[in-house]
Amino acid sequence: MDDLLERLKQEVVIKKAIYFMHSIGIAYYEVPKRENFLNANGYKDTINPALEEIRKSMQQKGIAKEELKKYLWNIEPYLAFLLDETAIPTELIILSFLDKDFDLQEIFSVPLESLPDTADKYGIVLLDDTSSANHQGVFYRDIFYFYNPFYGARRNAKTPPYLIQLLTDQMKLHNSVSLRLDLSISLSKEHYKPFMREFSEVFQGREINLDEIHFPLHPGNSEFFCVYNPKTMKKIQFKISHRKDSERWIEVEELWNIDGKEEQETFITRYLHSIFNPLTNKFVHVDGSFNFYNNDNYKVRVNQQINAHANLHVKQWLVEGEISIIDWGRMILQFFNDHDLILDAFKGNLIEEVFEDNHSN
């Protein structure tokens, strides 16, 4: 059984179905909800090929339902119960079981994503007048694109992620906005079926005032700062550098403490790049990306300033035009999703960071 499941995990058609399920916001244990999509136009085009692959593999290996049930009782009793007590197809339960170990990096490394023809060299698409966003994704021309897992859409959301709202609002200010869109997790408009969840929890938000940002936007040629949480040792680094025509590049990257994770294979960090024009006191460019590091490169990276040690750099979104300092601050706040550390930075509570070699590459 282990050999069969391990082989199925490597099948791209199964990885794509799992990626699709992740993106539409269905958790691995929500098997009955998955069943609702099996016959829906558009949805079944991605899910059914994976189910057929599982069905064929079970037949070839001679795996009976009873054997699978015994296997699942020891490691995932809820799925074993569904297999024993419901009419949910066996292959759908196996697909749900395989969903537990989905590796997000494979979206880009296999790759599972399929970029639209309109994507630029960075893999992002310039939105136009046909574009709009909701709680599950983005309408662009005649297609609905679900958010990939890196956009951080909540499963109980009723509105777009706040970062997406900030970005699309920039279009109203006549700034250009580009997003990473993926045909692998898309549907034609007529096939898209929006759904929402009702959770019983009450989420208490807090109002954040960014009217005054005391961040060193006008420093010297090259400055390195950071803020960190002494409890978790999570760090957010800032690099401010002088460029052509008085421009200031402001780069931001989060770093996670490696203690206790020395054997972890992959580390994923958020990275933001922005260009500030001190003559207009506005930003002309802000983009957010994800950096993927293997173990060796991350061990080097955590002991250095912001640099190019990432094994994979994936741009997620971009805004260009005239962006106010306040809107820049909001984008950073929502993208990094660590309000306490970012607010410390905006209050000027930055620590100058010095390593033995600030200019290592």
Q: Do 49 and 95 form a contact (C-beta atoms < 8 A)?
A: no
Q: Are residues 249 and 318 in the same domain?
A: yes
202: burial class by Cβ within 10 Å (0-12, 13-18, 19+)? exposed
Q: Are residues 86 and 133 in the same domain?
A: no
Single out the residue of 188, 181, 240 nearest to residue 216, CA to CA: 240
- Boundary (domain end) residue, out of 191, 213, 246: 191
Show the domain range for 89.
2-102
pTM greater than 0.85 (yes/no): yes
Rg (CA), the chain: 23
pLDDT score of 87? 87
Q: Do 328 and 188 form a contact (C-beta atoms < 8 A)?
A: no
Is the Cα torsion angle 148, 154, 159, 165 positive or negative in sign?
negative
Those residues whose C-beta lies under 8 Å from the C-beta of residue 183, and which sit 6 or more positions away, are 113, 114, 115, 116, 143, 145
- Boundary (domain end) residue, out of 191, 208, 235: 191
Q: Are residues 52 and 113 in the same domain?
A: no
Q: What is the DSSP string of 175-204?
A: -EEEE---GGGEEEGGG--------S----
pLDDT score of 203? 40
* Helix/strand/coil percent split, the chain, to 5: 35, 20, 40
Residue 15 DSSP symbol? H
Q: Are residues 74 and 13 in the same domain?
A: yes
Single out the residue of 220, 250, 259, 125 nearest to residue 182, CA to CA: 125
pLDDT score of 358? 43
> How many domains, in total, are found in the chain?
3
Provide the angle, in degrees to the nearest 10, between the axes of the packed helices 12-23 and 90-98: 80
Residues (pLDDT < 50) of the chain are 199-206, 357-361
pLDDT digits (tens, 9 = 90+) for 130-163: 899 999 999 999 999 999 999 988 877 788 999 9
Q: Are residues 11 and 84 in the same domain?
A: yes
Q: Are residues 230 and 328 in the same domain?
A: yes
pLDDT digits (tens, 9 = 90+) for 231-252: 878 899 998 888 777 788 999 9
Q: Are residues 55 and 135 in the same domain?
A: no
pLDDT digits (tens, 9 = 90+) for 26-64: 877 777 767 777 778 888 889 999 999 999 999 998 988
Q: Are residues 332 and 258 in the same domain?
A: yes
Let me know if residue 204 belongs to a domain. Answer: no
pLDDT score of 25? 83
Let me know if residue 202 belongs to a domain. Answer: no
Q: Are residues 248 and 298 in the same domain?
A: yes
Q: Are residues 37 and 96 in the same domain?
A: yes
Let me know if residue 274 belongs to a domain. Answer: yes
Torsion-angle region of 42 (φ positive above 0: left; ψ -120 to 50: alpha; else: beta): left
